[in-house]
Amino acid sequence: MELGDVRLHYVGGEVSDQEKLGEELWPKAIANARENAEKTLKPMGMKIDSVFAVSSIDFGQIRGEFLQGGQRVVVTGMNIPTPPDKPSEYRLEMITIDSTAHVIYLISPAK
């Protein structure tokens, strides 16, 4: 790119219609969760009766935030957060879009 005396240090990207894309991906994430649950249950002779809960946030994370038991998190040398590597001056970022659905199903034996 010819920019004269301008030097680029970082180029970032994002999706302009992120909210709309999220709305389109959510039903696919729900359907995928159901398919995976059915594939898991079939060999065990079980079936889905109903849906108990659906969330875009992991239920363990929700439980930890609402039902804190006073437990402290210990950060060891392996888990110390480190700043991300500075990207190359000329490398564009990869944009990844995903939608995760966490579902709790009520199940019973298949008849």
What pLDDT tens digit does each residue of the chain (111 aa) get? 556 676 666 666 666 787 788 788 888 989 999 999 999 999 999 999 999 888 888 877 877 666 665 555 555 555 555 666 665 555 566 667 778 888 989 999 987
| C-beta of residue 46 within 8 angstroms of C-beta of residue 101 | no
Q: Does any domain span residue 26?
A: yes
Q: Does any domain span residue 78?
A: yes
Distance between CA atoms of 26 and 98, rounded to whole angstroms? 9
Q: Does any domain span residue 9?
A: no
Domain of residue 34 covers: 18-109
pLDDT score for 46: 94
* pTM score: 0.55
Q: Does any domain span residue 58?
A: yes
Q: Does any domain span residue 57?
A: yes
Q: Does any domain span residue 97?
A: yes
Domain count, the chain: 1
pLDDT score for 90: 56
pLDDT score for 55: 87
Distance between CA atoms of 64 and 18, rounded to whole angstroms? 28
